[in-house]
Chains A and B, each alone.
Chain A
């Protein structure tokens, strides 16, 4: 059967590193990129006799995430040990939450091709990161040895488990992007897949369309970008379909995504009996969350991306594309809102400038919204100058870039550079006359019927006026003067 005759069933397990200053169970810093094993202490190194003490902020962030994803926050939750051996796991057990996680039963909404999609969130729990292995070879299987760095060991994570509600690789990617957007909005994680602060494992299975029983599933690991998530799932779905068609056995197993080869490979580590022997962590006591604690956090949540998106459509009348782009990043959205709070004549104009010049310059210079020098009131002022005809849209681009680079007010820049648009009729008339005098050839061609030459002549007007002539007026006056000429001939 072709892939279209199957229903694809996908569930995602996402791990997000929490943006706390210190680790989950000790005071070591969580900052990224330090020299190996310089951000560890006896506790996260797992030296015997050391004990964990829970980071309060991590609990708050987990609750925030749960509330933002519409989960029920469990009043009572506890920690458990997940026991397994691996060189990067310093205690040979991970402190996690097994049967009483901090959040359960939520959901997230997003749009796929204009259609609304809801994916259930089964649970969110807190757990600690393991250290990092650097393999001596190109991959783990052809390495003679590995080097362990425990800087990452003990960094707080939330694991977000989705219901198997995702129905396509594209949905999976958008789900990830939505989660990322929400988690960044509420400030609990910076979700940088390239730094490892956001990771995902996927479970995928196929069943014939119309069936209700899920097929054999495989787990995919090692997808290091949103694009990789989609590609890996697309590949794996095809692989499942081929195997199911040919009648060959589809093995329930864990596979790794090889981004270079564009395929998934079986992780043939000797039959890992995944018997984690979970039991309650004796060194930690339970967490009992008071209602007030949860309500306070709920009240401190900012407007979430989905709400903002809706509001931008309704209140600002922005098209979906604009709304989606701007609300994707909380800082960008708040900047936009600051501008339109002052300049409310034309929301679309603001949006265009943001999506265009503003984002272009940010990307070129590699800076974030928070570092941009243009104050929202100056942004608004510039648009006003355009409305007043003081500057043309072309000149505005120049002014904008200068504002971006220097943070100066538009009025100041216009004054310093003498960029005030020439809208004085007699001035333009004079320039037009000069251009006609200096370009007899093109003028003749135009009068001879070559309409296209007008563009060149307008260009000459702009050139002679150093770009400051009001373009519409230049165009108008030129046409008028040329018409006069032709009449007189």
Chain B
């Protein structure tokens, strides 16, 4: 596992939709590298033929019947809306202006 570069940090910040200042990018690169160094110890574990464990419960087939339940009254739905317009959530332009 190679160490993480500033470019990669910028790419990841973009993927995660996090704006970072130049200073934060520096700091983040440093901390992430420290943490990734710490993580290298996983390499020494032999995991050949080991099934990954994504769940901590031995459950399967948990399903519900196709029954309609009451929806939220719209006032509740909009309770925390940062910008509501006539029952819609408004957002700024989706495609950036060129």
Direct A–B contact in complex, judged by CB atoms less than 8 Å apart = yes
Name A residues whose Cβ lies closer than 8 Å to a Cβ of B.
20-22, 26-29, 35-42, 45, 53-59, 85-87, 133-135, 140-141, 143-150, 268-270, 273, 275, 277, 279-280, 282, 284-288
Nearest CB on B from A8, distance (A): 30
B93 contacts A146, C-beta separation under 8 Å: yes
The 9 closest A-B pairs by CB, nearest first: A27-B69, A57-B66, A147-B88, A56-B63, A280-B54, A148-B89, A285-B59, A87-B91, A54-B63
Nearest CB on A from B63, distance (A): 4
Q: Which residues of A contact B71 (CB under 8 A)?
A: 28-29, 38-41
Additional 15 contacts, C-beta under 8 A, given A37-B87, A140-B95, A285-B55: A29-B68, A36-B87, A37-B77, A39-B71, A40-B71, A53-B62, A54-B64, A143-B94, A144-B92, A145-B90, A280-B55, A285-B57, A285-B59, A286-B60, A286-B61
CA gap between A20 and B68 in the complex, in Å: 10
Q: Which residues of A contact B74 (CB under 8 A)?
A: 35, 37-38
Task: Render B64-98 as a binary contact track against A, CB cut-off 8 A, 1 for contact.
Answer: 11111111101001100000011111111111101
Q: Which residues of A contact B88 (CB under 8 A)?
A: 36-37, 134, 147-149
Contact A54:B94 (CB < 8 A) given known A22-B69, A41-B71, A275-B15? no
CA gap between A128 and B67 in the complex, in Å: 17
B89 contacts A143, C-beta separation under 8 Å: no
CA gap between A87 and B78 in the complex, in Å: 15
Q: Which residues of A contact B98 (CB under 8 A)?
A: 268
Nearest CB on B from A84, distance (A): 9
A28 contacts B62, C-beta separation under 8 Å: no
23 pairs of residues in contact across A and B, judged by CB atoms under 8 Å: A20-B66, A27-B68, A28-B68, A35-B87, A41-B71, A54-B64, A55-B66, A56-B64, A140-B94, A143-B94, A146-B90, A148-B91, A268-B98, A273-B11, A275-B15, A282-B54, A282-B55, A284-B62, A285-B55, A286-B60, A287-B60, A287-B63, A288-B61
Q: Which residues of B contact A135 (CB under 8 A)?
A: 94
Nearest CB on B from A87, distance (A): 4
Chain B positions 22-43 with a Cβ under 8 Å from a chain A Cβ: none
Q: Which residues of A contact B86 (CB under 8 A)?
A: 36
CA gap between A268 and B65 in the complex, in Å: 43
Q: Which residues of A contact B11 (CB under 8 A)?
A: 273
Nearest CB on A from B11, distance (A): 7
Nearest CB on A from B20, distance (A): 16
CA gap between A269 and B67 in the complex, in Å: 39
A26 contacts B91, C-beta separation under 8 Å: no
Nearest CB on B from A91, distance (A): 14
Q: Which residues of A contact B62 (CB under 8 A)?
A: 53-54, 284-285
